[in-house]
């Protein structure tokens, strides 16, 4: 009985640690991206074009066609955002939601393929996931908070009303709550 209780406690503690790691990464990543938005845009363009180029080799490497098409379509949508509206992307846009959905479907199909068909070591599997699935969407989502914060601060300086999206304001409140829990909340110029 004690083993079951300790197992549940360990699982809950691991979930809290994962959420804390994600919140910390988003907080510090948002600050980094906010200060270097043009460099991040250039990096994302190079990264997405590299992934699309590598994706064209997937059918020859033995990957199924659905993984090839999902990866190509999701990174095509991320490239579309980079060339049209980056960094001011609203979370509620249908094409942004489609990009996130394609990334999730790509993650699931990649995971099923890796678990059932490939006998790869851990480092190779994580490398595939970081490059082909998680890289671009995680930077895009982190830059949403940085762009929203920058856009809001700029509009306050100009005393204009900013149209806000319900999802964006919810995400901004969650980030602000995470900031309040961080040990150092000083000015960036300090």
The DSSP annotation for 168-184 comes to HHHHHHHHHHHHHHSS-
Confidence at 48, pLDDT banded by 50, 70, 90: confident
4 Cβ neighbours under 8 A, 6+ residues apart: none
| Bond from prior residue into 27 cis (ω within 30 degrees of 0) | no
Range name among 47-51, 132-136, 182-186 with the lowest pLDDT average: 182-186
Q: Tell me whether residue 45 is in a domain.
A: yes
Query: In the chain, pLDDT over 90 holds for what percent of residues?
Result: 0
Question: What 3-state class would DSSP assign to 188?
Answer: coil
Instruction: Give the residue numbers spanning the domain of 111.
Output: 2-181
Q: Tell me whether residue 168 is in a domain.
A: yes
Q: Tell me whether residue 149 is in a domain.
A: yes
Q: Tell me whether residue 104 is in a domain.
A: yes
Number of domains present in the structure of the chain: 1
Query: In the predicted model, what is the mean pLDDT of residues 89-114?
Result: 80
- Burial of 177 (C-beta count, 10 Å sphere; 0-12/13-18/19+): exposed
Q: What is the pLDDT of residue 49?
A: 86
Q: Tell me whether residue 70 is in a domain.
A: yes
Of residues 92 and 152, more confidently modeled: 92
Question: What 3-state class would DSSP assign to 164?
Answer: coil
Query: In the predicted model, what is the mean pLDDT of residues 151-161?
Result: 51
Q: Tell me whether residue 187 is in a domain.
A: no
Q: Tell me whether residue 190 is in a domain.
A: no
DSSP H helices in 37-93: 37-55, 65-84
Confidence at 115, pLDDT banded by 50, 70, 90: confident
Q: Tell me whether residue 189 is in a domain.
A: no
Range name among 67-81, 83-97, 113-127 with the lowest pLDDT average: 113-127
Query: In the predicted model, what is the mean pLDDT of residues 155-161?
Result: 51
């Amino acid at each position: 009985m004690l083993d079951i209780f300790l197992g549940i406690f360990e699982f809950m503690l691991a979930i809290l640690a994962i959420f804390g790691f994600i919140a910390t990464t988003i907080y510090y990543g948002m600050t980094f991206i906010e200060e270097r938005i043009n460099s991040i845009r250039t990096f994302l363009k190079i990264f997405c074009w590299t992934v699309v180029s590598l994706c064209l080799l997937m059918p020859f490497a033995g990957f199924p066609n659905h993984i090839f098409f999902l990866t190509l379509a999701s990174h095509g949508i991320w490239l579309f955002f980079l060339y049209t509206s980056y960094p001011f992307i609203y979370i509620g846009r249908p094409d942004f939601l489609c990009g996130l959905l394609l990334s999730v479907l790509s993650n699931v199909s990649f995971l099923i393929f890796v678990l059932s068909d490939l006998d790869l070591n851990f480092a190779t599997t994580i490398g595939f996931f970081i490059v082909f699935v998680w890289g671009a969407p995680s930077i895009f989502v982190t830059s949403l908070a940085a762009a929203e914060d920058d856009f809001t601060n700029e509009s306050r300086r100009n005393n204009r009303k900013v149209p806000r999206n319900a999802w964006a304001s919810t995400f901004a409140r969650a980030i602000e709550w995470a900031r309040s829990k961080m040990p150092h909340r000083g000015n960036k110029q300090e």
